[in-house]
Chains A and B, each alone.
Chain A
């Protein structure tokens, strides 16, 4: 097990290095004019000495390797630069918006578990029936419907036609947790749909696989009621995929959060990132890309390790 973890971590480090280089390259590829344009409001672009000064201020006149080293050094120490658009420190922006996005993710996970697991179980138990077909089709639709459209439809139904939920906005917890939850219902539901669909399918096939195994046949032969067989013996082992799905859908959650936050006007990391990309606010863009990929990387490593712990076959296959 230790060797397994070691290998995984070594791989992760290499990947991290490549990611960091990738992010830097991507951000530096943004046309220089664009960066200048982003700062246009406060500088006079006619004046070449001013332009040169700004370039120097942002270190754009150094050779690329120097820029990389400088940027990396600063980043690791927590100096993520200042946003070109608002002048705030990027780290502060992240700190402010992270809890909001986390709440969104948490809610989405709750939804996906609450809807996906029962659906998957039903599908497995009623295999090949119409109900199973409905569950499978429903799961597929959940995975396929784009988050931004689902958000629009739900806003229309539950905020325009029948004003049940507030159509947008984030109500900070300080203003009341009930209001906060009500505002989060629609956005978290939209976000949870995709992973809920995946979860339903994986739970279903996992439960089916477990149900077909010898020890289940033994339990049945021993005279346990069907309910007992399922609940006491089959359910736990079939929950293993939950771990995988959370890992698989993490990236999708991040991307979906972008849209959900933009449409529902939630002040989280996703909306900040989209705005940064539009404004070519490259310090924020770089930080976002690193945070996002680091996130996915960490989750993947954790899932791999967890999976290796739970399922010995994986360790051997490597």
Chain B
């Protein structure tokens, strides 16, 4: 711990214990087992559950957390040493046996987990001793660290899973800094401080976490959430982008803006229908005024995207430039492809307020070049059905939480991908994706993904729009946020630097 670059705390700050930290969320968390669908609030999930590895400022899974060390025994085997002295909230011990039980449980079809496929390359995981595991893969698996820094890596109490796995959805037992105290579905979540948090001891910060508890209240409307923040009824808020300017002008609030590893994009159906013709894909992509979209629908809080990996991601290919806004070119391409008198295409978009705005804006842009996009606004579940049936030409695409490059690449562009269903079949891309999974050398792996981006880019495989930014506002009495540190180390900085109230209370 002492020689980690992110493990520095401001010596002049005097964190005070106490107070209940009040948060507002748009949706209730849903299921509290990370491997069960749906989970709609991953921040709250992180209060209770921690992962084996965390990611760094470039979204790389390089930071050991509950796994102390990882040593590669060739490209198909990893020996993992677990951190000692960690207990779950129900008192059971975090050890090799519990991790093995959990991994086997996730892969068991009877457990009905949605991320079982992420562990497909795993052959076995064996207990070597109380705190050591040996992971064996079927093929070289470069993405292993990325996966254990992601959903399957959230450690859960094997004892609780064994007793009643269904109950775990509402009564989770993790290792995190906060323990679930009370849950009122659809209404609120209450957490209390974990006095035995391992990180407090290991980092020599025994007062962590500083809050006595956290209360998450569900408030569906953004205007009401902001009103609550300004009235002092909540302490932190993920701002709706339209509120950024107003919040920044408020002297009682501290507002921070930062990049997020989400991709907003439109997906084509490239194997069935009109978009098999690359000229039509080009026509659509050039008809979209991305700058306008960002200005109007995101209030400037987004970064123009060139391809799939955000500019601060270690796999991003800096040689690619965002597609230009050229409606005249679009019209020309449409005419060339035989649709000079107009083209009608069908699709869907999510029916949230933001989704509706984006869909309407894009529809307007496409109308201007003669494309009629009959877009239906749908709920997530209904949308999933149409995606599975390939019942669209142009629809919502994108990806959230881009960490390991393989997860998104496979998900969107590989036949086995969980979000492809056959709509994209670019052989060059598929070959590169499979190569990227096996290449263990980081530099060589990065080169493969650069190539992948180039292949997708030249094929106009999808229309990528922007990489996300978000803005958070804290009340001025909330201390401890070091924006520079966060930008440098992100994931691990966030969880290693808990906040506190200036006077020990809200």
Contact = CB atoms under 8 A, between A and B. Distances in A.
A68 to B, nearest CB: 26
Interface string B224-264: 10011011110000000000000000000000000000000
Given A34-B382, A37-B382, A169 B186 contact: no
Given A41-B37, A169-B228, A279-B379, A272 B186 contact: yes
Contacts of A167: 224, 227-228, 231, 233
A263 B388 contact: no
B4 interface: no
B231 A265 contact: no
Given A88-B185, A169-B219, A263-B224, A41 B231 contact: no
A137 interface: no
Contact of A41 (B38, B187, B221): B38
B447 interface: no
A42 interface: yes
B227 A160 contact: yes
Interface in A158-204: 159-160, 163, 166-170
A40 interface: yes
A40 B217 CA distance: 27
A275 interface: yes
A264 B379 contact: no
A36 interface: yes
Interface residues of A, number: 34
Contact of B186 (A34, A37, A42, A267): A267
B71 interface: no
B385 A168 contact: no
A166 B232 CA distance: 9
Interface string A42-59: 100110000000000000
B444 interface: no
A65 interface: no
Contacts of A166: 228, 231, 233
Contacts of B218: 265
B223 interface: yes
A234 interface: no
Given A155-B224, A265-B220, A37 B233 contact: no
A278 B219 contact: no
A143 interface: no
A167 B229 CA distance: 10
A262 interface: yes
A36 B385 CA distance: 9
Interface in B377-396: 379, 381-382, 384-385, 388
Contact of A45 (B224, B228, B233, B388): B388
Max chain B Cβ within 10 angstroms of own Cβ: one of A88, A169, A264: A169
Interface in A39-94: 39-42, 45-46, 86-88
A159 B231 contact: yes
B31 to A, nearest CB: 9
Contacts of B224: 155, 167-168, 263-265
A46 B421 CA distance: 10
13 contacts: A33-B382, A39-B381, A40-B384, A41-B114, A45-B384, A46-B388, A87-B169, A88-B185, A155-B224, A167-B228, A169-B219, A263-B221, A278-B379
Interface of A: 33-34, 36-42, 45-46, 86-88, 96, 155, 159-160, 163, 166-170, 262-265, 267, 271-272, 275, 278-279
Given A88-B185, A167-B231, 14 more contacts: A37-B384, A42-B36, A45-B388, A155-B227, A160-B223, A163-B232, A166-B228, A167-B227, A168-B219, A168-B221, A267-B186, A275-B186, A278-B379, A279-B379
Interface of B: 36-38, 112, 114, 169, 184-187, 217-221, 223-224, 227-228, 230-233, 379, 381-382, 384-385, 388
